[in-house]
Amino acid sequence: MATFTPVTRTNKEFNAVYIRISARSTTDYIRTSYLIHKSNINKRNEITDNIILANCYSQIKEYIGKLAEYNSESWTAKEIKNLLLSDKQGISFSKFADKYIGKMYNEHRDKSVANYRTAIRSLSLFLGKNDIMFSDITSSTIRKWVDALSHTKRAKNMYPICIQKLFEEGCLEYNDYDKNIIKIPHQPFRAVKIPKVDVPEPRAVGPDVIKQILSATPIYTREQLAIDVCLMIISLAGINTVDLYKMDTSCLKGDKLCYNRAKTKSTRPDKAYIEIAIPEHIRYLIDVYKGKDHLFNFAEQYHTPDYFSTAINKGLLSVCTRYNLPKVTTYVFRHSWATIAQNVCGFSTEQIAFALNHTSAHKVTMGYIKKDFSVIDRMNEAVWQVISDY
């Protein structure tokens, strides 16, 4: 059983007063706000000032009352101190979020970092404060915030999901459920219904437009880059630009790209692994854009995947404007690959989802089946043939 004793730890003119915690052969100290003159400390180093002692024992009584709520017999002095100093209303959600997002940054999860930071910024603006406490995040507050986001297509879903994830991780960080130390006692998201993302209008263009873009004569280096990258996208099952940017040299195995999709590799049991054969008509691009530390030199030319994507889209805009074509982005090429694969080539939605490396709706079943990535190669051949025939 823990014991508490008012003590000093120095022998000066004036000395700080502490409450010593002793438990299971361990010792720790909680500093009080009191100072005591050396004349009020006896030869055995004991405090003799009755007013300070009375105040200290009043605080000790509160500590004993708080500790009685827990089964603390096996706790060390440090664990008891941490509990007694915890403030259920004063844990900073914002500071925890910064630490958690910093960890994601170190894991190179750039897109997630951007999403989480934007979500935090949105909630901060709504609450009118930069330092959000866990106690600020209530069911009522979140519902009002979600209502304020109702006009958005995606933020009303993505932002609350990010905040919910951070809140749950914070509970795991600060609550010790085995010892019944609950510093964050409330669960606000249990009473909140997060709205779904609005279904976006299909972003796709026909094979005729794709062929015109890929056949365009570039007049700027950025246009050449845009055309070449979009040729890769439409030839490699709508591959994401971030995956091209981050592709390691080890991902090239013979004539195949074997890699993990950057967006979901940290959240899926299969690490979002995929294999795609490189069609013969784009193999020369590996040499054209050969990198030093990466398969392609995109990471050497652009500081982040977003800068890389922006450069491509600007190049596309320039080409489309000059040729009087619909304004497209790299995502339009990804959507167009999927649309042609289904509507023209006749592949199933399930096959297209597999090729796009989306999470399967049949997770348990997929765990039983050894993946055959060759179907993706057949789909790429079929889609490219449709485009070539225009």
Which phi and psi angles does 176 have, rounded to 5°? Answer: -110, 95
What span, in angstroms and rounded, lies between the C-alpha atoms of 188 and 166?
Answer: 12
**Cβ 122 vs Cβ 128: under 8 Å:** no
What span, in angstroms and rounded, lies between the C-alpha atoms of 281 and 283?
Answer: 6
Q: Are strands 26-37 and 252-253 parallel, antiparallel or unpaired?
A: unpaired
87 vs 117 pLDDT, higher one: 117
pLDDT value at residue 122: 96
What span, in angstroms and rounded, lies between the C-alpha atoms of 320 and 298?
Answer: 23
What span, in angstroms and rounded, lies between the C-alpha atoms of 249 and 156?
Answer: 39
Query: The pTM is what?
Result: 0.62
Instruction: Give percent of the chain above pLDDT 70.
Output: 96
3-state helix, strand, coil in the chain (%, to 5): 50, 15, 35
**pLDDT tens profile 237-276:** 999 999 999 999 999 999 999 999 988 887 788 888 999 9
Which residues on adjacent β-strands are paired with residue 290?
Answer: 296
**pLDDT tens profile 162-198:** 999 999 999 999 888 877 777 888 899 998 999 988 7
72 vs 115 pLDDT, higher one: 115
Q: Is the pLDDT of residue 367 over 90?
A: no
Span 53-77, average pLDDT? 88
pLDDT value at residue 351: 92
32 vs 361 pLDDT, higher one: 32
